[in-house]
Structure 1
């Protein structure tokens, strides 16, 4: 499970962001200021930090530079200001993205998914999940003597889930990764693709299953015989 550190001196914002991240399947670490955040980092290293700019003591820019220089942790800055100068200062400090308050929770999740995807290691050409082999170069899915040539989006969804078996992928992260941040359709598209992938897998591989994690998203499970 991906860990995200949320740093904000506004307890309401801190709790609100934490609730949405937890619902999306992230493990949340919380701090009310920069000093607390550094303390958290002594025992746990997050995959990403969400940092408020306007904080007493160590401000968001200073904390961002420390996170970037000392721990190489990607940072998404939150601020009530939208001036170009603040954005420039944030990026110079090492932030990866910038979100102005107030913001939609869905946009926050999309931006988080985009940052994490940029930091992921390059994908292997061949993925193995149980009896299923996924070739990212030829776009073929094989199991035993059976071969599937799937529509591209179905293939991309399957490959994403198979890249980390048993890890839950939140719906927003799947949509952003496969369809892109600017996709204007709805989540029913993902539901339809998952249904079709399940039907295809059921015909060639009884040991591989896409499981729905209620309220969060999906994961690919391999059943051992």
Structure 2
């Protein structure tokens, strides 16, 4: 069975660990342990001590580990962390795996903000009615927070973007996207949604982050089928 170090090495490529470690952001082992991992918990953040919930696992994968008190953490339970790497690579932004899950083929040229790639327009094999596409996105994330704009009756392109500005909405619409999917709908972009005739869909920041954690969990399960990956939030979900 793997240790937390083996899990981190397996995720090093997908998370681009070397880059984020060089920038001082966690993308690997946060608390080391030599215990074999048979049960891995997924959770957005550790919460406040006591960490009784963590004792049920051999290791935990966290998105935001920064408030964790090591002195109060259960002995021997390793911690993996993926912070900006998850936000950048496995959320609503530049995320090819999400595109695949939604049946999209991403355009070669990404959507950019300040020169940095932050999302893309993905193409469907054929145009579909907008409402079923919204339902497909909601099912993938386990719900949504907000929808804005009527949008076209059908579309063959969806924008998946890690931020929302008027300029990004306009750029997505110019490429034919009828649906703009992001974490949160931002005020200055609301007018652009109506002006461009698209529909914007906010899945919610925590749902987007939870999707990324679940996906990393699936990568671990694919490599080590005997590792049980469990959503470790207080409600039985990642959050």
Q: Which has the higher contact order (CA 8 A, sep 6+)?
A: 2
How does the TM-score come out when normalised to structure 1? 0.30
TM-score (norm 2): 0.29
- The structure that is helix-richer by fraction is 1
